[in-house]
Amino acid sequence: MSRALYPHPLIAREGWPYLSGITGAALLVTLMNGVAWAIPLWIAALFVLQFFRDPARAVTAAPNAVVSPADGRIVAVMPVTDPWLQRPAVKISVFMNVFNVHSNRSPVDGEVLAVHYHPGSFVNADLDKASEHNERNAVCLRTTSGHEISCVQVAGLIARRILCYVQPGSVLVRGQRYGFIRFGSRVDVYLPPGAHVRVAIGDKVSAALSVLAELS
């Protein structure tokens, strides 16, 4: 089944203030001093434009599939203890650099059980210790088949703002947009131990399109 889930504009709303501000400044400098003086501002505007792009995604996957919640590169696949659900789990981590799309999407169909925000530091999100030390926001979900997973937004070296738009009781479908992280970060997904992992470290993945694992 293919589901087009896109209730948001092509350029994420989170970026509108940044884009309008820097574009306005670039226009002003261009009018007052000429294009040459405004080139750095126009370059910055292009960077902001590409960072906040948020393309539509059609989700095509089996009902038991866990799709990637973010664009990026797999930096961890390991057995751990889920710190939010307090049980053994398989952790799959997706690192997002500043050139990836930073919109976050639900990896499964399910209901939000809990949302936990934890303040922290801002070490490089490419490092595994970022999962324990950085600012992070965890969304715990129960799938329609009864599995419980945690999906954790983790701030990075540059990121200073995690945005999450769901609360306990919210019902999400796979690929549905639920949050955003500004300027470099990672997302950790904690799955039940019996999950069949379909990715490896170094793989590049796309939010809502790439299958990280299948739940038994």
Task: List the catalytic residues.
Answer: 185
| 190 φ, ψ (degrees, to nearest 5) | -105, 120
Torsion angles phi and psi, residue 75, rounded to 5? -115, -5
Query: How big is the chain by its Cα radius of gyration, in Å?
Result: 18
Q: Which residues contact 111 (CB under 8 A, 6 or more apart)?
A: 141, 142, 169, 170, 171, 172
**The two three-digit tokens of residue 204, written as one number:** 């590049």
- Return the number of other C-beta atoms located less than 10 Å from residue 111's C-beta: 15
Other Cβ atoms less than 10 A from the Cβ of 87: the count is: 12
